[in-house]
Structures are given as C-alpha cells and as structure tokens.
C-alpha cells in the first residue's frame, strides 16, 4: 500500500484558465483507491487555501502525481500555461526539500501527454505517463522507489476497470465545481481513439492504447445519475467524435432519454458522417445542447488538405437533418490551414453565408501546431519548438478576406475583436527557422509563435 497525492495543476489560477471538473485525474485516483492505496486529490478550486499554505505536501507521500490538462490557455491574449506549471513545480520541490522529503514525482494528463519528455525535464519529475494513466500509476504505487529518477515517459495502457467500475466523485469536489463556469462535467463513454487522421490532430497520440472499450450502459447510467444527484445539469461526452460508431452513439442517446433526469442537457463533438435520419430524429428532445461539428473548412480542397474524411456534401446533408429535427447546431471553422488561399476562403464564406444561421458559426484563424501531427512533420519542428504556441504559417491577408467575404451578420463585435487581436499578434511574430520549407516563393507567411490564439486542434479542443 502506498500513499499517493494527486495535484490538479489545471485548477491553478492562471490567466486564460477556467478550471473544469478534473475527470482524468479522478479516474486515476479511483483506480488507486480500489487497489487499496491511500490517496488525496489536491484541487485548488475545492481547496484554495492550499495555494499559499503547502502544508498538504508534508504528509509523507510515496508518490505525487501532477495532472496537466491544458498547455494552451483559452483566450487569445495569453501565451502558455507552461511557465506557471514550472514555477509551481519549483515551489513544490523547495517545500519538499525543506521538509527533507523525496517522493516519486509523476506527470500525466492530456496536455502533459503532448509534451511528455520536455515537461518531465522542465518540471523536474521522475517520470511521465502518456495517455491513460491508471495502470502505470498502479505499477508506480506498487513499487515507487523503482521509478525514482527514471526520467522520460511511460506509455499508458488499457484499464479494464473502465468496463466495470462506476465513477462516483467525492461530494465535496462535486460541490466545488457545480458552482463554477456553468457547471459542465465530462463523461467518458468509450476508450477508443478516433479513426480519422486530420493533419493537425494529436488525439490518437495522446489517447494512446485505447483499443476500443465501450462503457457498459448500466455503468454509464449510474455515473450520470450520480452527477445529476450532485447538482450538475450539463454533461459533455468527452469522445474525440461522439458518433463515430453510430450504433453505440444511438444507445447512449437512448439511455440519456430513458434516464429522463430533470433539466439535464448534454453536448459532444459530432461528425457529419456517419449521421443518419434515425440519429437526427433521436437527438430531438434528447436534451442535446449543441450538435458541434468541425469541418474546419467549407472548401472541399482544404478539407482534403486537412485530412477530413467527409466533404461539404456531408455537411449539407447534416444541416438538412438538423433543420428537420430542430437541432441546435455549431459549426467550427478554422481559417489558415495548409493551402488556404483567396479562393478557398471565398468558397468557405460562400457556404457559410448560404447555409448557416447567425449563431451557428464558431470561427478561428490559425492552426496551433502540436507534436506528433502531420502539421508538425511538415514544419519539421521538434516538440521543444512547439511548447510555446506555434501556428501553421498562413497568409495574413486571410483576415481581410474573411471580413470581405462573410456576410455582415457573422461579423460580430466579438469576432472583430478576435480578428484584430489575432492580426496584431501575427504582426509581432517572426519567421521561425522551419518556415521556408512550407512557404511558397513570393508570399509572406508567418508563424504565430509565442502567442496564444484561437486555432483549434482536434474536434475536442
């Protein structure tokens, strides 16, 4: 039996951070608890006093695990959370040294997984875990000293408990988060990496060995009931793509309808294909808050460049079905991908103007390049170079083209602010070493380095 402290770094107060319920680290804690280890989760939303008084470190822990959910902040004016993680880890190290304690320090979480090796070094950890953390943390807790000073990262493995164990979160933690940010909580329905291969998306890498477990519906039902009892009314199914396996997605929607929990709404990332009439009809009156799809461009050539496995034809069919069933739709578009030019912006804008309602467009400019993606390979950038946001190089005229081409009903004050901030940030940016490899001659392309920005990566960014 080991004593394991888990620290939710995503709950640190940081510019551009809005802490959300820490389901990832709760999965890890649940697995450790069930195996008989003594655990504590330090979450600064639930226990803000822990930020100033590091007393909680003094409890003779064998292992301390740090979870990093996000590397990048939500808003465009901030650049990265990394510096704050580094400075917090230094405080922790100093406090442990002061007390003469030397537990095994472990890193994990989705943001961490993207930059595992780099973060193990920068945070001074003993070891990191990429992907699902339960099994490796159980290994570490079984024999902590054998992981001391190990360095580098370990690959997470399949966790069988996903199929049997109902996650029920501590009441105090739930209570702390039901008050925050409209209280939306994540729920996993599957452990199956997305089958698509979008050039900017790192999900397959960070989700690791998720061979395809579908959570049994009775286990899922118990989890959702518990969440509802605790006061949450909004859930987000965390799959990369909720309906990539349509049959199972239908079962989950039916489950939510059958549970008929008062006031419960839900959302998820969807794909326009597969999406049939029956699914469209089922979604109606299911409490779905937003059917979010991410074609990212609405120009077929660009969609191919981005690696999308569907075309504008499928988006049109999806919209027809959504209209028929009165579904609330959100369509994510990110301008500035590989090959974006005057013509492709015009085509996307035309599709948007002709097909979307005013509140249905979610728009960003610029693709944040993440490790292990095709975009990173194209830039020839290694992980260290990408830790602070680097955006795929694009023509700065994209900003003007968007304003020229989009109907004025989409050009809201908020959008203008975002575009202006993006353009101002872009002007400050220098050409990075890797840029000449992708910039056609005669055009000015810039990487938005060292600035946080709108561009998404992955359906679930």
Tell me if 230 sits within 8 A of 169, measured CB to CB.
yes
Return the residue of 128, 240, 393, 452 that touches ligand SF4, per CB under 6 A.
240
Tell which one of 47, 95, 121, 188 touches ligand B12 (CB under 6 A).
Answer: 188
Using an 8 Å Cβ cutoff, are 411 and 433 in contact?
no
Whether the CB-CB separation of 4 and 39 falls below 8 Å is answered with yes
- Which of ligand SF4, ligand B12, none interacts with 196 (beta carbon under 5 to 8 A by kind)? ligand SF4
How far apart, in whole angstroms, are the C-alpha atoms of residue 441 and residue 433? Answer: 16
Beta-ladder partners of 426: none
Stretch that binds ligand B12, among 65-73, 170-178, 278-286, 440-448 (CB under 6 A): 65-73
Considering the complex, state which of residue 51 and residue 439 has its C-beta at the smaller distance from ligand B12: 51
Report the number of secondary-structure helices (H) and strands (E) in the chain.
17, 16
Position 266 contacts ligand B12 (CB under 6 A):
no
Among 71, 194, 381, 447, binds ligand SF4 (CB under 6 A): 194
Q: Is 203 in the site for ligand B12 (CB under 6 A)?
A: yes
Using CB under 6 A as the binding rule, whether residue 196 contacts ligand SF4 is answered as yes
3-state SS, residue 445: strand
Question: Is residue 369 within the footprint of ligand SF4 (CB under 6 A)?
Answer: no
DSSP state of 48: G
Sheet of 288-296: strands edge to edge?
184-187, 234-237, 265-270, 288-296, 329-335, 361-365
Task: Identify which of residues 201 and 361 has a Cβ nearer to ligand SF4 in the complex.
Answer: 201
From 103, 132, 199, 287, residue interacting with ligand B12 (rule: CB under 6 A): 132
The answer to the question of residue 206 lying near ligand B12 (CB under 6 A) is: yes
20 binding ligand B12? (CB under 6 A): yes
| Closest C-alpha to 458, from 292, 300, 275 | 292
User: Cα–Cα distance between 443 and 437 in angstroms, integer?
Assistant: 13
CA distances for 316 relative to 310, 319, 426, angstroms: 11, 5, 33
Listed ranges 71-79, 252-260, 295-303, 311-319: which one lies at the site for ligand B12 (CB under 6 A): 71-79
DSSP code, position 79: -
CA–CA distance, 29 with 433 (Å, rounded to integer):
42
Helix or strand run (H / E) with residue 367: none
Closest to ligand SF4 by CB, 129 or 198: 198
Which residues inside 315-374 make contact with ligand B12, applying CB under 6 A?
Answer: 370
Q: Which residue number, 24 or 337, has a Cβ lying nearer to ligand B12?
A: 24
Q: Which residues bind ligand B12 (CB under 6 A)?
A: 18, 20, 23-25, 27-28, 65-67, 69-72, 74, 106, 108-111, 113-114, 129, 132-134, 137, 184-186, 188, 202-203, 206-207, 236, 238, 240, 370, 457-458, 460-461
Q: Which residues bind ligand SF4 (CB under 6 A)?
A: 194, 196-198, 201, 203, 240-241, 458-459
């Amino acid at each position: 039996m080991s004593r394991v402290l888990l620290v939710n770094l995503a709950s640190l107060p940081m510019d551009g951070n809005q802490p959300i319920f820490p389901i990832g680290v709760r999965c890890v804690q649940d697995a450790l608890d069930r195996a008989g280890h003594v655990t504590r989760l330090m979450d600064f939303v639930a226990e803000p006093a822990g930020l100033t008084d590091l007393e909680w470190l003094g409890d003779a822990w064998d292992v301390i695990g740090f979870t990093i959910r996000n590397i990048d902040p939500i808003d465009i004016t901030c650049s990265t959370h990394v510096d704050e993680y580094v400075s917090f880890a230094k405080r922790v190290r100093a406090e442990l040294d002061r007390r003469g304690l030397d537990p095994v320090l472990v890193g994990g979480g989705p943001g961490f997984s993207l930059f595992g090796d780099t973060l193990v070094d920068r945070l001074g950890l003993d070891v990191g875990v990429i992907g699902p953390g339960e099994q490796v943390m159980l290994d570490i807790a079984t024999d902590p000293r054998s992981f001391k000073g190990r360095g580098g990262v370990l690959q997470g493995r399949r966790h069988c408990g996903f199929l049997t164990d109902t996650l029920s979160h501590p009441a105090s933690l739930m209570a702390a988060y039901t008050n925050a940010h409209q209280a939306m909580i994540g729920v996993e329905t599957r452990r199956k990496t997305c089958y698509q291969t979008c050039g900017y998306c790192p999900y397959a890498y960070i989700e690791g060995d998720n061979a395809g477990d579908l959570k049994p519906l009775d286990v899922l039902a118990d989890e959702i009931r518990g969440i509802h009892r605790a006061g949450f009314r909004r859930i987000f199914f965390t799959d990369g793509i909720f309906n990539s396996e349509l049959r199972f997605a239908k079962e989950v929607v039916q489950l939510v309808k059958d549970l008929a929990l008062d006031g419960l709404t839900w959302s998820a990332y969807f794909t326009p294909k597969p999406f049939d009439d029956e699914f469209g009809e089922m979604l109606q009156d299911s409490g779905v808050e937003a059917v979010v799809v991410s074609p990212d461009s609405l120009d077929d050539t660009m969609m191919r460049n981005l690696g999308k496995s569907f075309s504008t034809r499928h988006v049109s069919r999806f919209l027809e079905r959504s209209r028929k069933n009165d579904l609330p739709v959100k369509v994510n578009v990110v301008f500035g991908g590989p090959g974006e030019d005057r013509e492709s912006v015009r085509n996307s804008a035309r599709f948007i103007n002709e097909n979307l309602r005013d509140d249905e467009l979610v728009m960003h400019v610029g693709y944040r390049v993440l490790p292990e993606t095709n975009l990173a390979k194209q830039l020839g950038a290694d992980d260290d170079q990408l830790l602070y946001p680097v955006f795929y190089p694009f023509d700065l005229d994209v900003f003007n083209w968007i304003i020229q081409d989009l109907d004025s009903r989409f050009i809201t004050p908020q959008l203008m602010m975002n575009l202006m901030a993006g353009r101002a940030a872009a002007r400050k940016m220098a050409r990075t070493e890797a840029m000449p490899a992708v910039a056609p001659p005669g055009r000015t392309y810039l990487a938005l380095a060292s600035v946080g920005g709108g561009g998404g990566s992955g359906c679930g960014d």
